[in-house]
A and B are shown apart, each in its own frame.
Chain A
Amino acid sequence: MDNMKQIVDRARVAFNSGRSRPLEFRMQQLKALERMVKEKEKEIAAAIQADLNKNEFNAFNHEIMGVLVEIALFLNKLPSWAAPQPVEKTLLTLTDEAYVHHEPLVVVLVIGAWNYPFVLLLQPLIGAIAAGNAVVVKPSEVSEHTANLIAEILPQYIDKELYPVVTGGVPETTELLKQRFDHILYTGNSLVGKIVMEAATKHLTPVTLELGGKSPCYIDKNCDIEIACRRIAWGKYMNCGQTCIAPDYILCDQAIQDKVVDVIGRTVKEFYGEDVKKSPDYERIVNKRHFKRLMGLLEGQKIAYGGEADEATCFIAPTVLTDVHPESRVMQEEIFGPLLPIVTIKNTDEAIQFINQREKPLALYVFSKDNKLVKRMIAETSSGGVTANDVIMHFTLPSLPFGGVGNSGMGAYHGRHSFETFSHRRSCLIKALKMEGVNKVRYPPSSQKKLDWAKFFLLKRFDKGKLGLIALAFLGVIAAVVIKVVFF
């Protein structure tokens, strides 16, 4: 177990060498990562298939593509993101340099999840590398083929001391969490999220927690139910429901419940054929433990569609449950499987109340043709993110921050938000040793006149154009001379 300390210490020493700081180095590492993803695409897809029974198309679509898009974005934008950002100044600081400088945090820990074992590890890694950090990468042991592959190929392409991969289960992760990091990004469930934050407390380490919860999906009566249900079925049953932002349950009026079931059923047949088990496009539950957990949630429920299961292959068919009671087990935990409960409510007010009585979800979905209703749902609830009239899609836009709120998480990443998450924004104010006359307004001994001048110089800000600035700088110099004469 000394090993963990050695790995982290080595990463810190590698950072202290200074090599991860220059922009060129970071760009080069990102390019190497891109090469890795492209050259090892087949191996990556094969590992994901072995872990989740996911076919090559899905592996590419769900995971590999997201990583390539993120790298391309960073290669394009990193130079501008990393440049110092000047800020508006006060009169007293007018001739100074004032800016925010993005600096590395130093050693970052990224803990991945098993449901999208590649993208949920690589996307944060990209941001952390881009911000100049050393990064310890810990893939989930549950998706062991992907974990082993990453441990094998990452060091072949990027700096192995700066970006070590640590594999292992709970004991290894516990030991890793005892070490001191400068930021930890964890993706997984709330229970372990708490443990990670508690461990981070020992070293006052900031954390980003990408957790989960029950993402509600409200279907208004006034909407194209065919289209809505097709989109919902796609998002719910992809990866066999094992997606943190899958629509967890539906809220809708009793009057449309039957139609919803009907359309979802037809859509499932369209997607996966008559015998879902034979479809090459449908994944499996990751392991027996989760399979049993999900079967437990079915107890006592009205199965309106689906429900078939086969423990030997961890297969659970796309399933819809109707007239679900809000207090039943399936409504008490994040489902993370292909069971879609429908809870009936009378109207939008009740839906909003229902959502607000529960923990803030990672995602909120609302389907309606009425724009006002959509806006109202967003305004009167809280969630990590929202997609209206579709599901999942807000995840795919890197300009949107991806993260939770309340029990569903804290912090965010993707694109520039990753860069910000893994950087320290250092305030820099560079003055000259001259113009001491002006400084005298702030020194004792005090007087009312000095106070008034001090307030003026220190607090007045200017957003005029360049000409205005020159005029004001001139005014500042005059004022300095006046003060010097008046007071001294």
Chain B
Amino acid sequence: MNPYTGRVSCLRASWLSGKTRTKEYRVSQLEALGRFLDEKKNVILDALAADLHKPAFEAELSEIALCSNEVNYAINNLYGWMKDEYVDKNLATQLDSAFIRKDPFGVVLIIGPWNYPLHLVLVPMVGAIAAGNCVIVKPSEISSCTEKLLAELLPTYLDQDCYAVVTGGPQETSQLLENKFDYIFFTGSPGVGKIIMEAAAKHVTPLTLELGGKNPCYVDNSCDLQNVANRLVWGRCFNAGQTCTAPDYVLCTIETQEKLIPPLRQAIMEFYGPKPKESPDFGRIINDKHFKRIRALLDSGRIALGGQTDECECYIAPTVLADVKPCEPVMQEEIFGPILPIVTIANVEEAINFINSRERPLALYAFSCNCKVVNQVLDSTSSGGFVGNDTMMQMTLITLPFGGIGYSGLGKYHGKFSFDTFSHHRACLLRSMGLEKLNYLRYPPYAHRSLGLLLSSLDIKRKGTCTLL
């Protein structure tokens, strides 16, 4: 007997009852979520600190503020999003009402990861609630303090008839996935993404997968290298490198590599001081397993900056590896740690070929003072998102769709894209019973009727853009 079937059925019954249909209800739940973020801010910050040693600044910005932003944006725009979208009509439907109705799917499952354990569960949840679904949230068990917090507190804010939090590890998640959901939203690794998609295929359940990969960062010769270094270090070291859109490795010429290292040193110094381990603004690796995994990657190229580690604290210093070869360990997997390898190439064309010979990444970065070079990289590659002359900032623009392509993911969300992801866009055509004579054109028998008329309508099409049906 599946332990979650009862819960899923209850939520489905709530959805069928129509409880989540009204705008007022959805807004009330979103407001409750906003209140949760506001009232429990300190408790949240403590949980994040306990899980990831997450600096308060980072947590406030990336976990609380960005979530509140989504909540408010959804509340402000919900009416417009929910409205029936009227569409262009053709001659045959001129007198009809034709629109796209945004229907909820039903019961949505959101599975979150451990690196932004609040954000990556709540931001999709905002979209799912706004679209009128009932939601089961499964936070990651690895960020256990945040998991516990969500399981305890979320039900005190949200309607328990329609929203539930489920906790547990891989076994519990498998059991959960045996049930039929109407939409699944997963953030995590491509390996687990496949398992989720297999489970979804059994019930023909649509899904969004926010995965990862190695996000390349091309640095051109013509650059203000201090600014580049600042933006690179910020992106690489935020959350101790455990961000799906962090710049994973740098591609530049040998000359640029040498010129880049001193500004990188300076940026690290300015941000974290001479001993980053003592800085309150630098995080830690989530657990021992990942710490060991990342530490092993240090055996690549040469350590140009940093390289210190402390197993007791799961601390890895902001590190730059130079002269890294493509075959070395650090270039074989998504790093997800504060290590920035530099791979040298001869020119931008080689960089582009390097990028294109690998799986398409979630994000792609290119730095150059010459906008032609930035555009060249943009036009010649493919990625989930692209930023010229910075890292990670695409995450802060709620109006840009966020998602991957190929192994870095499928589907998009943030802002209105979340609402659209979690709604079924239903085609509606409302006709009248009148004007039946016009319909006679389409009824049999055809022999003595309108083939000529139809063919002459084809003539109209050949000359211009008029379409009859």
Q: A386 contacts B270, CB within 8 Å? A: no
Interface stretch among B34-42, B149-157, B195-203?
B195-203
Nearest-CB residue, chain A, relative to B97: A388
Q: A443 contacts B224, CB within 8 Å? A: no
Nearest-CB residue, chain A, relative to B226: A436
Interface stretch among A115-123, A330-338, A423-431?
A423-431
Q: Count A interface residues, CB 8 Å.
A: 111
68-126 of chain B: CB within 8 A of chain A: 69, 87-90, 92-93, 98, 100-101, 103, 105-106
For B451, what are the chain A residues with a Cβ–Cβ distance below 8 Å? Answer: 56-57, 60
| Docked CA distance A61–B401 (Å) | 39
Q: A72 contacts B367, CB within 8 Å? A: no
Q: A223 contacts B406, CB within 8 Å? A: no
For A202, what are the chain B residues with a Cβ–Cβ distance below 8 Å? Answer: 194
CB proximity of A233 to chain B, nearest CB, Å: 9
Q: A433 contacts B430, CB within 8 Å? A: no
Nearest-CB residue, chain A, relative to B209: A204
Given contacts A90-B397, A407-B204, contact A433 B224 (CB under 8 A): yes
| Docked CA distance A397–B393 (Å) | 39
Nearest-CB residue, chain A, relative to B68: A459
Determine the main DSSP class of B at the interface with A. Answer: mixed
CB proximity of B115 to chain A, nearest CB, Å: 18
For B205, what are the chain A residues with a Cβ–Cβ distance below 8 Å? Answer: 410
Given contacts A382-B106, A396-B90, contact A389 B465 (CB under 8 A): no
Residue from the list B16, B61, B103, B211 in contact with A455, Cβ < 8 A: B61
Q: A424 contacts B382, CB within 8 Å? A: yes
CB proximity of B399 to chain A, nearest CB, Å: 4
| Docked CA distance A356–B374 (Å) | 53
For B384, what are the chain A residues with a Cβ–Cβ distance below 8 Å? Answer: 426-427
Whether, in the assembled complex, A458 has its beta carbon less than 8 Å from a beta carbon of chain B, the answer is yes
| Docked CA distance A458–B443 (Å) | 60
Q: B406 contacts A427, CB within 8 Å? A: no
Q: A399 contacts B399, CB within 8 Å? A: no
Q: A401 contacts B100, CB within 8 Å? A: yes
| Docked CA distance A105–B411 (Å) | 12
Residue from the list B69, B106, B194, B399 in contact with A89, Cβ < 8 A: B399
Q: B201 contacts A198, CB within 8 Å? A: yes
For B7, what are the chain A residues with a Cβ–Cβ distance below 8 Å? Answer: none
One digit per residue, 1 when the CB lies within 8 angstroms of any chain B CB and 0 when it does not, for chain A 405-434 equals 111011110000000000011111111111
Nearest-CB residue, chain B, relative to A389: B431
For B272, what are the chain A residues with a Cβ–Cβ distance below 8 Å? Answer: 444-445
256-280 of chain A: CB within 8 A of chain B: 270-273, 279-280
| Docked CA distance A358–B280 (Å) | 56
| Docked CA distance A177–B230 (Å) | 46
For A201, what are the chain B residues with a Cβ–Cβ distance below 8 Å? Answer: 194, 197-198, 201
Q: B433 contacts A430, CB within 8 Å? A: no
Interface stretch among A151-159, A301-309, A446-454?
A446-454
CB proximity of B153 to chain A, nearest CB, Å: 23
| Docked CA distance A79–B198 (Å) | 37
Q: A69 contacts B389, CB within 8 Å? A: no
Whether, in the assembled complex, A244 has its beta carbon less than 8 Å from a beta carbon of chain B, the answer is no
Whether, in the assembled complex, A147 has its beta carbon less than 8 Å from a beta carbon of chain B, the answer is no
For A410, what are the chain B residues with a Cβ–Cβ distance below 8 Å? Answer: 204-206
Whether, in the assembled complex, A98 has its beta carbon less than 8 Å from a beta carbon of chain B, the answer is yes
Nearest-CB residue, chain B, relative to A458: B396
| Docked CA distance A65–B389 (Å) | 49
CB proximity of B233 to chain A, nearest CB, Å: 8
Given contacts A231-B439, A433-B224, contact A393 B429 (CB under 8 A): yes
| Docked CA distance A454–B396 (Å) | 11
CB proximity of B305 to chain A, nearest CB, Å: 16
CB proximity of A26 to chain B, nearest CB, Å: 16
| Docked CA distance A446–B228 (Å) | 20
Nearest-CB residue, chain A, relative to B386: A428
351-378 of chain A: CB within 8 A of chain B: 356, 367, 369, 374, 378
Q: B427 contacts A72, CB within 8 Å? A: no
For B21, what are the chain A residues with a Cβ–Cβ distance below 8 Å? Answer: 379
Q: A436 contacts B447, CB within 8 Å? A: no
One digit per residue, 1 when the CB lies within 8 angstroms of any chain B CB and 0 when it does not, for chain A 38-70 equals 100000000000000001111011000100110
94-132 of chain A: CB within 8 A of chain B: 98, 100-101, 103, 105-106
For A382, what are the chain B residues with a Cβ–Cβ distance below 8 Å? Answer: 103, 106, 424, 426
For B262, what are the chain A residues with a Cβ–Cβ distance below 8 Å? Answer: none
Q: B65 contacts A459, CB within 8 Å? A: yes
Q: B103 contacts A405, CB within 8 Å? A: yes
Interface stretch among B52-60, B139-147, B307-315, B338-346?
B52-60
Given contacts A87-B400, A424-B382, A455-B65, contact A206 B411 (CB under 8 A): yes
CB proximity of A483 to chain B, nearest CB, Å: 15
Whether, in the assembled complex, B297 has its beta carbon less than 8 Å from a beta carbon of chain A, the answer is no
| Docked CA distance A484–B92 (Å) | 63
Q: A380 contacts B18, CB within 8 Å? A: yes
CB proximity of A207 to chain B, nearest CB, Å: 9
Nearest-CB residue, chain A, relative to B16: A356
Whether, in the assembled complex, B412 has its beta carbon less than 8 Å from a beta carbon of chain A, the answer is yes
Residue from the list B61, B231, B378, B458 in contact with A439, Cβ < 8 A: B231
CB proximity of A431 to chain B, nearest CB, Å: 4
Whether, in the assembled complex, B279 has its beta carbon less than 8 Å from a beta carbon of chain A, the answer is yes
Given contacts A98-B399, A382-B103, A444-B281, contact A281 B393 (CB under 8 A): no
253-308 of chain B: CB within 8 A of chain A: 270-273, 279-282
* Residue ranges of B at the interface with A (Cβ–Cβ < 8 Å): 16, 18, 21, 55-57, 60-61, 65-66, 69, 87-90, 92-93, 98, 100-101, 103, 105-106, 182, 190, 193-194, 197-198, 200-202, 204-206, 209, 211, 223-224, 226-228, 230-231, 234, 270-273, 279-282, 367, 369, 371, 374, 378, 382-390, 393-394, 396-402, 405-407, 409-412, 424-433, 436, 439, 442-447, 451, 454, 458, 461-462, 465, 467, 469
The contact sample of 25 A-B pairs, CB cut-off 8 A, is: A57-B446, A65-B469, A76-B465, A101-B378, A194-B204, A204-B194, A204-B410, A231-B439, A271-B443, A272-B445, A374-B430, A378-B101, A382-B106, A387-B429, A389-B430, A410-B205, A424-B382, A427-B394, A433-B223, A436-B227, A444-B281, A445-B271, A445-B272, A446-B281, A459-B396
Which A-B residue pairs are the 7 nearest by beta carbons? A446-B57, A444-B281, A400-B427, A385-B427, A399-B87, A87-B399, A427-B385
Known A-B contacts: A399-B98, A401-B425, A427-B394. Give 19 more (CB < 8 A): A89-B397, A197-B197, A201-B197, A202-B194, A204-B193, A271-B443, A282-B444, A379-B21, A387-B430, A388-B429, A389-B433, A396-B90, A406-B106, A425-B401, A426-B384, A429-B390, A429-B394, A431-B393, A459-B69
